[in-house]
Structure 1
Amino acid sequence: MEKWEYRSIKFETKGFMGGILEIEEFNHQLNNFGEEGWELVSCVATSQGQGTTREVIAIFKRKKF
């Protein structure tokens, strides 16, 4: 039976009302996790209200050996 381990990381958004994600830093972090064998499973944006996002949470998994 395959076993998995999971990891979540949180990215804060910028801007007066939030909602601005520093995409270069975001991609850099995603690539770092990919290099370590983590696969991105999901991304969730937390709502601050009126369509703005306060945080983005990325969820990863990789096989446990």
Structure 2
Amino acid sequence: MTRWEYKTIKLAATGFLGGVLDTASFENVLNGLGRDGWELVSAFDTNQSGGVTRDVVAVFKRPVAER
């Protein structure tokens, strides 16, 4: 049976009222974690008033090395 480990990251949105995600930075984080064997499982945003994105949360998994 495969055992998994998980990692959660949170990236803040910027902008005067929020809602702006630096996609180049986000891609760099995703690519770096992918090179380390992490697979993106889910990504979602959290909102502040007016529905503007405050943070983007991404959840990753990778198999645990057998001992």
TM-score past 0.5 threshold? yes
Q: Shift of the alpha carbon at 1:17?
A: 1.1
Q: Shift of the alpha carbon at 1:50?
A: 1.4
Greater share of residues in strand? 1
Q: Which residue of 1 aligns with 2:27?
A: 27
Provide structure 2 residue ranges, at least 5 long, that are not aligned to the other structure: none
RMSD over aligned Cα atoms = 0.6
Give the number of equivalent residue pairs: 65
Distance 1:59 1:17 in 2: 25
| Amino acid aligned to 2:31 | N
Q: Shift of the alpha carbon at 1:37?
A: 0.2
1:8-59 per-position Cα deviation (integer Å, ceiling 9, x unaligned): 0010000011110000000000000000000000001001121201000010
Provide structure 1 residue ranges, at least 5 long, that are not aligned to the other structure: none
- Residue 16 in structure 1 maps to residue 19 in structure 2: no
Larger radius of gyration: 2
- Residue 62 in structure 1 maps to residue 50 in structure 2: no
**Percent of residue pairs identical:** 48
